[in-house]
């Protein structure tokens, strides 16, 4: 049975969450940090490794792109307090979500 569980990220150092076999990633839009599911709706590709351009996030697997505003609207519940982001991600009963910093961005 799936339920939401709290995870705290130290923003911007932490930029991903692993919850069971699901990955989530942070995306800064304006002044708001969103926490989004990484699984691409097309065939499950890693959206966290995609690139944002012109308001769209392009999946690295097949190149489909998705409107960032729509992705953010479907993000998990998250609250930002200074350098902390508290998010609630779906997990199975025995799973504990873990924040990490597995994304490295090129300058
Ligand atoms: S898996 Fe993302 S475009 Fe195909």
**pLDDT tens readout for residues 10-36:** 999 999 999 999 999 999 999 999 999
Ligand 1 centroid distance, CA of 43 (Å): 5
Q: Which domains does the chain have, with CATH numbers?
A: 2-99 (2.102.10.10)
Q: How confident is the model at residue 105 (pLDDT cuts 50, 70, 90)?
A: low
Mean pLDDT over the full length of the chain: 93
pTM over 0.85: yes
Q: Which residue has the tokens 């769209």?
A: 56
Q: Cα–Cα distance between 85 and 2 in angstroms, integer?
A: 22
Is the model's pLDDT at 102 over the cut of 90? no
Could you give the count of Cα atoms lying within 13 Å of 60 in the half-sphere of its Cβ?
A: 8
Cβ atoms of 99 and 9 closer than 8 Å: yes
Confidence (pLDDT) at 18: 95
Ligand 1 near 11 CB (within 6 A): no
Ligand 1 near 65 CB (within 6 A): no
Ligand 1 centroid distance, CA of 65 (Å): 8
Ligand 1 centroid distance, CA of 42 (Å): 5
Q: For 45-55, what is the mean pLDDT?
A: 95
Ligand 1 centroid distance, CA of 81 (Å): 33
Shortest-distance atom of ligand 1 to CA 44: 1
């Amino acid at each position: 049975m799936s339920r939401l569980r709290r995870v705290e990220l130290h923003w911007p150092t932490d930029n991903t969450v692993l919850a069971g076999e699901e990955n989530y990633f942070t995306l800064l839009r304006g002044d708001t940090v969103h926490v989004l599911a990484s699984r691409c709706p097309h065939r499950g590709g890693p959206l966290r490794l995609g690139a944002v351009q012109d308001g769209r996030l392009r999946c690295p697997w097949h190149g489909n792109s998705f409107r960032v505003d729509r992705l953010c609207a479907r993000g998990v519940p998250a609250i930002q307090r200074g350098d902390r982001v508290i998010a609630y991600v779906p997990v199975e009963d025995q799973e504990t979500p873990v924040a990490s910093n597995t994304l490295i961005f090129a300058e």
